[in-house]
Chains A and B, each alone.
Chain A
Amino acid sequence: MNRSAAVFRETSAEPRTESVPFSHLSLELGHLYMEDFVEGPARLRRHFAAVRPWVDAARAGLGPLGTGRRPRISTCFLIDDYFSRLSTPAELIPPLLAAAADAGLTIDYLARESGCAVADPAHRDRAELAESVLHRLVESPPPGSNGFRPPVSRTGWLTNGRRAPARRTSAALDSTGTVWQPPSETGARGHSVFMDVELWNGPDDDRTWSCAFLASVWQLVRLGLLRDNGRAVLTPTPFDDQEFPAEWDALPPVLRLNPQAAPFTAYVTCSVLPARFLPVEHAVRVILDQVHVEAEALAQIAERSAAEGFAVPAGVVDRTSYVFPPGL
């Protein structure tokens, strides 16, 4: 509809969606548990040495763009300060950066996992990102769903199909030969790989978000698909040659460590991760496949990438990719 002739407008009635800058690729240089850090610098050096060749491969895979220009690639690393805090930023971060540098890698952006869960300390008025994403889940309907199902926010679990029906009697008592019904994956190819993902546990007012759910938020942040009331979220804070604080909460949720870095948010992501994270990332894909992101955010990306002649997959989950290298 052509509304350009309107002479009267109300900003409160017309939501705006802030745009964010985009790299072509956001490359994640691995992920570690706090326990891994405790093992010392040798452990970190081993990590980045194993990651390095695959980073080169990912860069090479993107190749020069059709226009002959070099692709914009930014690197990032997510520190888990949500589930455990065994050390301080001042103790933990410098050896991490040094180990990456030893392998010839630069960490452009450093993020805290808590940033995906709790509200940004600099913007206390804003909603918690995880909570916002939870409200954006639109469950994939198993065949036969005609508009009536309990919402996911009541159960805290999300599946890629249909659960096995609950049984009234225990297996031992059930001698009547009631047939057990298996769960099923929606859209399975022949056989099901059914997954049921726990999104959080604990009481409603003090939830502990699951690793898989926070990792999904992390992917959406890197893809530049989240907004808070139209405003960009987790915008990187420049952090050049400063001392790292002794408290995690004193650190901005996303730091830009390299002033020359390409933008943090990117059209597509690639994460080089240890294979032990494979189940978590499978869960991430189940979650991402069921997140409804703002149409305007998608439209901005479609328009910008088309102008650059860079093909971005339509589906959100298809914009993510992984490498699980040996020896990591």
Chain B
Amino acid sequence: MDGLGTASGPVLVCGEVRTCLLPTRDAVDERAAVELLRLRADERVRVSRHPNRHAVSPDVLTGVDCRLPTATGARSRAVGTVTARAALTEGRVLQATAYFSAPAAGPDRRQPWGYYLVRPGTLVPVGRLPGKALTEGFLTGHQPGELDIGSVADSLLARISRQHRILDHDTPLTTADTSLRWTAAAAADGEETSLRFTKAEDGLRIVELRLPPGTAPTAAAELCEDLALHDWLLTTVADKLDGLRVGSEDGRAVLKVLRPLVDHLLHLWMPQARVDGALHTAWRELERTPGYSRQWNALAQRIRDQLVLQNLGVPRQALPAR
């Protein structure tokens, strides 16, 4: 597939990332990670060991022929395939992404299926693509009968989670899953790369991206997986520390909360580990406002300080009251 906004490439890339804790007590090693993500016998699981351990499954395609979600309610049909892939970071955080690219226009009627299979991950509109209405409609959420790529990501997560021989479904901490729904269009001439991040309710995140023309759809998906991973980490740790009763007499309650965070999550913060260099601007904006790394560092420091205090074993009551 050619790059975003190029003559032969897509005008829009849309996707959804599901992020969750791998349902198992301990993080899995590389061998188990490869086994979990081996969705096809004849295609390798891609494993990267630097700057952290990261395994990515082969892409799997799902054929669709349905109406696209549009903000205006305009009826627009598209045919093609949605790409889905799963990724495992440090054998601990599991993500499934489903995404598709869409060109500005397509043939006026459905083509033989082989036409779509040589354009993997592309949804070809029947006629013209309602670009703006689709962006809005997609980010708002689909209506019944319209394209539902969340369920494509969900079924991939379910398929991986069903491997009970590797997964014991006994997680060391309870966490909430998140969904990050995103769209990426090419930035206009002279326009900066930009990102609009909305944290909605019920674990939903909405990201609207404008990326440099020529950006590969995969690179956009990787950026969004990276955003989703770090947003999930920050949300999970911040929620655990919210209302933590550090003043209680018994330090064990505090330890019970802090310990799993140290064991399983604190080492995972590594923004832009695999994000295409041209897309770093998007992350920089998020660092400026609200300042994700700043918040993470503060939280991590707080956890460490609390653990030091717990270790000193000084009962709070022994300290002079001010």
Interface on A for B, CB 8 Å cutoff? 1, 3, 8, 10, 12-15, 127-128, 131-132, 135-136, 138-149, 186-187, 226-230, 288-295, 298, 314-318
Q: Which residues of A contact B62 (CB under 8 A)?
A: 138, 147, 149
A228 touches B66 (CB 8 A): no
Choose the segment among B41-49, B244-252, B287-295 that binds chain A (4+ C-beta atoms closer than 8 Å).
B41-49
B117 adjacent to chain A (CB < 8 Å) = yes
CB proximity of B159 to chain A, nearest CB, Å: 9
Bound complex: CA A294 to CA B43 (Å):
9
Which A residue sits closest to B155, measured CB to CB? A148
Bound complex: CA A315 to CA B65 (Å):
19
B320 adjacent to chain A (CB < 8 Å) = no
B313 adjacent to chain A (CB < 8 Å) = no
A187 touches B46 (CB 8 A): no
**0 or 1 for each of B59-82: is its CB under 8 Å from A? (1 = yes):** 001111111000000000101011
A290 touches B117 (CB 8 A): yes
A226 touches B42 (CB 8 A): yes
Q: Which residues of B contact A139 (CB under 8 A)?
A: 63
B46 touches A292 (CB 8 A): no
Choose the segment among B185-193, B211-219, B231-239 that binds chain A (4+ C-beta atoms closer than 8 Å).
B211-219
B39 adjacent to chain A (CB < 8 Å) = yes
Bound complex: CA A318 to CA B118 (Å):
12
* Known contacts A144-B145, A292-B120; A127/B114 CB under 8 A: no
A135 touches B155 (CB 8 A): no
Name A148's contact: one of B46, B48, B56, B148 (CB within 8 Å).
B148
B46 touches A12 (CB 8 A): yes
CB proximity of A87 to chain B, nearest CB, Å: 32
Name A131's contact: one of B41, B152, B215 (CB within 8 Å).
B41
- The secondary structure that dominates the B interface is mixed
* Interface residue tally on B, bucketed by range: 35 or more
Name B66's contact: one of A1, A144, A293, A315 (CB within 8 Å).
A144
* Known contacts A146-B145, A147-B149; A314/B118 CB under 8 A: yes
Q: Which residues of B contact A143 (CB under 8 A)?
A: 65-66, 77, 110
Q: Which residues of B contact A149 (CB under 8 A)?
A: 62
Q: Which residues of A contact B214 (CB under 8 A)?
A: 1
New A-B pairs, 6, CB < 8 Å, besides A290-B113, A315-B114, A316-B114: A10-B48, A135-B39, A135-B42, A143-B77, A148-B151, A289-B114
Bound complex: CA A277 to CA B122 (Å):
35
Q: Which residues of B contact A317 (CB under 8 A)?
A: 112, 114
Name A132's contact: one of B41, B115, B215 (CB within 8 Å).
B41
Name A147's contact: one of B3, B117, B147 (CB within 8 Å).
B147
* Known contacts A139-B63, A140-B63, A317-B114; A132/B42 CB under 8 A: yes
Q: Which residues of B contact A144 (CB under 8 A)?
A: 65-66, 145
B40 touches A12 (CB 8 A): no
Interface centre among B64, B115, B142, B148 (most CB of A within 10 A): B64
A289 touches B113 (CB 8 A): yes
* Known contacts A1-B276, A15-B43, A290-B113; A146/B66 CB under 8 A: yes
Q: Which residues of A contact B65 (CB under 8 A)?
A: 141-145, 186
A-B contact pairs, 10 of them (CB 8 A): A15-B44, A138-B81, A140-B113, A143-B65, A148-B152, A187-B110, A187-B111, A291-B117, A292-B120, A298-B118
